[in-house]
Structure 1
């Protein structure tokens, strides 16, 4: 378990550093200003992963991470205002870039496993991505029209 936690921490540090750079280049947020938010996000993620390993329930780790994040950012929870302030300095898209790159590398290392899925899985994957994109565009269009932005 300790080795796994060490590996998670290393991955989180690498993702955090890449996020800091992306946040700085893409959104002009100085890394020193975003470091507290990155640390909070890393700690929340690490706590959720540890809970997933320790608790006997069959719940995905993302559920634990989400619950912890909601609790620590709820009004009335001691320190929540500071948590929200710190994490606001970290842009969501700056976080997704290194995570998607890591996922791409992980898939790239196991092309043999990916090839075993067959061509049908690739078509299904493409349709899922297309449907997600199209659905997001329709929802965005609807919301922006309601708000009178477009």
Structure 2
């Protein structure tokens, strides 16, 4: 279990940095301003994953534990709920979704260790593929929106 927690923490650190940068660039929220919200989300997620792991009944997915825990800690009247809501309101949803979706794509290969074994060249190629996909989508969207007169 300790190895799983270490992997989760490493993953959360990587995703947190990506969320902070995305939140800063896309939504002009300074990383230090968003840090308490990011840490709150990481803490809730980590506790939810641990609860899922220690529960002998595996019929409930870990996302359910995370969601229920997040719901409980933000109920009005729960000590600290207002503070958690204030902190997390500084973290934009799309800044969170982007690295999570990127990780979902990588997790198809099962683990970061396996991904790292592919070598640094694979990471660079992957970054160019993602960049090209993003830029291509942006150009197509720009052209279509201009043709429709929306922008």
Q: Same fold (TM over 0.5)?
A: yes
The unaligned stretches of length 5 or more in structure 2 are: 111-151
Question: SS in structure 2 opposite 1:3?
Answer: helix
User: What is the aligned length?
Assistant: 109
Shift >4 Å, 4+ stretches? none
TM-score by length of 2: 0.70
Q: CA deviation at 1:56?
A: 1.5
Q: Which residue of 2 aligns with 1:47?
A: 47
TM-score by length of 1: 0.71
Q: CA deviation at 1:106?
A: 2.3
Q: Which residue of 2 aligns with 1:62?
A: 63
Q: Distance in 2 between matches of 1:104 and 1:80?
A: 33
Q: Distance in 2 between matches of 1:34 and 1:21?
A: 10
Q: Which residue of 2 aligns with 1:74?
A: 75
Question: SS in structure 1 opposite 2:91?
Answer: coil
Q: Which residue of 2 aligns with 1:36?
A: 36
CA RMSD of aligned residues (A): 1.0
Question: What does the per-residue CA deviation read over 1:74-129, in whole Å, with 9 as the maximum and x for residues that have no partner?
Answer: 0000000000000000000000000111111223x37xxxxxxxxxxxxxxxxxxx
Question: What does the per-residue CA deviation read over 1:18-66, in whole Å, with 9 as the maximum and x for residues that have no partner?
Answer: 0000000000000000000000000000000000010112210001000
Alignment of 1:1-150 (within 5 A): 1-57=1-57, 58-107=59-108, 109=109
Q: Which residue of 1 aligns with 2:120?
A: none
Q: Distance in 1 between matches of 2:63 and 2:97?
A: 15
Q: Distance in 2 between matches of 1:101 and 1:6?
A: 20
Q: Distance in 2 between matches of 1:95 and 1:27?
A: 12
Looking at secondary structure, tell me which structure has more helix per residue.
1
